Amino acid sequence: MESDKSHRILLVDDDSSFLQPLANRLEPLRVSFDVHTETDPTAALDRLEDGDDIDCVVGGNQLSNPPLPEFLHAVRNRESRLPFIGLVNGAETDPSELIEAGATNAFQKSTVQEHPERLATAVHDDAETYNDRQQLREGFEFLDTVLGSLDDVVYVTDTDGQPIYWNDAAHRITGYSSDEARQLDMLDFFPEDEHDVVLEALDTVLETGTVTFEVDFLTKQGRRVRYEFSGTTLHDQDGEVIGICGTGRNVAQRYSYEQTLHALLETTQDLFDATTREEIADVAVRATEYIVDNPLSAVYLYEDEQLVPVSTTDEAREVVGELPVYGVKEDTPAVRAFYTETAEFVEHAADIDDTHTRTSGWGVLYLPLGEYGVLALGFPRDDPITAMDRQLAEILVANTAAALDRHRGERTIKKREEMLETLHGTTRELIQTTDRDEIAEIIAADADDVLDLTAAAVFLWDDASGELRPVAQTEEVEALFGPLSTVHELGGSIWKTFVDGETTVINDATSEGEQTSFTGATGRDGKIARSQLFVPIGDFGIFISGSTRSDAFSETDIEFAELLTSNAATALERARREQTLEEKDQQLEARNEELRRVNRLNSIIRTINRGLIQANSRSEVQQLVCETLTDVDHYRFTWIGEETAVRDEYTPLAFAGEGQGILDQASGDRETTPIPERVQERGEPIVVNDIHRDRRVAAWRKAALNRGFRSLVCLPLRCDGHEYGFLEIYADQPQIFTDEEVTVLSELATQIANAIDAVERNEALLSGRETELEFEFPDIDDPLSRLARDADATIDVALRKQVVG
């Protein structure tokens, strides 16, 4: 199982073309990897010298100044235990030589390029081992100042028995310095005849978890000192054995010290095994009873601008009663210790001015737990705290703060994993919708469910009004901010965030210098949004959230809110593209439909034209046109009419289709049916594409709608200045008569008028009637014409010809 801890890896190689691709391939292989690169070995050594927190160094043999072996030696001089993995080319350097020189591991570069996961596994394992040992060393640095004054030997070894830590007592007894001790093997501290006992004890502790044995301790001068050693295994967070710790003491003095030290070690393990802040506080309080022999203790943790007592001993409750809650702005010893991170000792607890009554005869020591709170220890005034008790309490406090650090880190990692998993689901959900409002609803809901931002809302930009419109919100929004409304250019932080395109965080809207984005920013029951978060959703809108607490939004909250809004912007962009494509498809389909109708209309017009050629009378022409046009899609009724000479009305000359009852209204007088009059006056078509709304047909709208008519076109029938009435077509859908269709119908109307004119001329010629023609000859220059011009007179010539059929 992979550890949750981040591993900082330093890759060093002069060849940048090899270095950066390796870093890019290595980092994704482990979520814990944080890979850094250096092409300058000196710069890499400076990073180690400056205390850069590196967990493993990977060096390539392209290094020239210094070469790889010298670079390895320089690293070892700065940090002897730091994992170092060498990368070599071909047969230039044998990997085993590097390992003999002190490298933790070594690989051929070609192997790493083909199988980077092998390097990743080695780096991960070496870094884990290094971190485990480092944790042991760091943990026992807290013990060193205390345990160094003890007469007992305190030691920590790795699983091979090699010393990692021992206290000053071991140095005093053996005579070896720390540097000398590091160069010795485990068995060098014991006489040769005791080696089997030591090795058997090592096997026993690794098998059973604990061991107690007596053996002679061998000093530097060769003197044998009889000691009883006890040991127990140390475990990491996954339960794996990572080392052995224990004590060594002479038989006479072992019991008292051993109990205290084991209690402290067991407490440290219990602290790191705890899964909640409250459990950690309980472990720390219980430990004070047997580590510092103190029955009065309590742990205060920081929550919502307060120091809240979360765990206390029964004896403390009996003596003090209900423990007070301290506001972080109060001037009390507990708050001062918390803010200054310096212990505060109050000799007379009854003198503390915090409106809380205390029993006299007690003193209180407040020890800071870093940024998490304070540990309060009460001592009888007649039995004051000893220096040893205080040192042990400070070790307990340091371990407790470390456990709280780890708990927060684990919670952060777990929360990130949960957020990422849920955000993946959100992304899939966003992909499946193209509705803007639905996307906003998903974002607001997931901000509540995933990010635990209970007050979340989404504003989307409205192009028509030029405003940000609230379209989705959680229930808590109105309770915190009040009713939301649209936001325009004077909309404070919301508008600024949208225009600038950058996240805005207000940590405390009530403090001086901070400006709230909402007027008052007060919700129900006087709630105030002290913390406010505004995240732009691209150019589509903005996401907002708030909290009654100050500094409520962590970097993780902001990071994932920005990730959530980034996914939302992508979904909204896709929805916009799909809407545009859909609109274009609809326009194209409408255009295609229009073209199909025009083609169909043209086909019917060709049929009409063939019929016009064969028609022998005006009535035949008119009836042919009406009957044929009703075959066009959506044309329900067609009629041809003309103005009567007597009554100033319109009379139908021909009609076809369904709904001929409309003629009772449409062929009335000019006042009730003005459209034909205007058509003949203007000589241009008139189109009514929505009978339901057009006021020009108000007099007979109801009659038209009742017959299923939704639009109409009226066209003049005119040829060479002669009027032959009008053609009126009714359709069963609105917006049928497009410009292109009206143009085609206008051409048809002209052809119809020409056909009527031709038929009537032919009828006149064949009827035997007289025909009177008038000619004007302005340019004739004969004597009779000159005489007429001089006399300003007209010459009339009569010609009659009998036409015999």
pLDDT in tens, 231-245: 999 998 788 999 999
Convert the pLDDT of each residue in 127-177 to its tens digit: 888 888 777 776 666 666 666 666 788 888 888 888 887 888 888 888 888
Helix/strand/coil percent split, the chain, to 5: 45, 20, 30
Examine the pLDDT at 714 and tell me if it is beyond 60: yes
User: For every residue of 229-260, which 3-state class applies, written as one string?
Assistant: EEEEEEECCCCCEEEEEEEEECHHHHHHHHHH
Cα dist from 55 to 13, 32, 403, whole Å: 17, 11, 21
Share of the chain above pLDDT 70, in %: 84
| CA dist., res. 347 & res. 333, Å (int) | 12
Label residues 97-121 b or e (16+ Cβ within 10 Å = b).
ebeebebbbbbbbeebeeebeebbe
Domain with CATH 3.30.450.20 in the chain: 148-271
Neighbours of 198 (CB within 10 A): 17
Distance from C-alpha of 595 to C-alpha of 741, rounded to nearest angstrom: 9
The pTM score is 0.40
Neighbours of 612 (CB within 10 A): 21
- pLDDT, position 613: 79
| DSSP 8-state symbol, 323 | P
Q: Which residues pair with 450 in a beta bridge?
A: none
| pLDDT given at position 645 | 62
Q: How far apart are CA 284 and CA 215, in angstroms?
A: 35
Query: Mean pLDDT over all residues of the chain?
Result: 81
Domain with CATH 3.30.450.40 in the chain: 293-410, 433-579, 615-766
% of the chain residues with pLDDT over 90: 17
CA torsion, ordered 787, 791, 794, 799, to nearest 10 deg: -40
What local confidence, expressed as pLDDT, does residue 270 receive? 87
Average of per-residue pLDDT across 736-764? 87
pLDDT tens digits for range 176-189: 887 788 788 889 99
650: helix, coil or strand?
strand
For the chain, residues classed under CATH 3.40.50.2300 are: 7-130
Q: What is the CATH number of domain 433-579?
A: 3.30.450.40
**CATH architecture for residues 293-410:** 2-Layer Sandwich (3.30)
Task: Choose between 252 and 690: higher pLDDT.
Answer: 690
State the architecture of 148-271 in CATH terms. 2-Layer Sandwich (3.30)
Q: Is the pLDDT of residue 520 over 60?
A: no
**Res. 512 pLDDT band, cuts 50 70 90:** very low
The correct CATH number of 615-766 out of 3.40.50.1110, 3.40.190.10, 3.50.30.60, 3.30.450.40 is: 3.30.450.40
Q: What is the CATH number of domain 7-130?
A: 3.40.50.2300
Residue whose C-alpha is closest to residue 258's, from 163, 147, 389, 383: 147
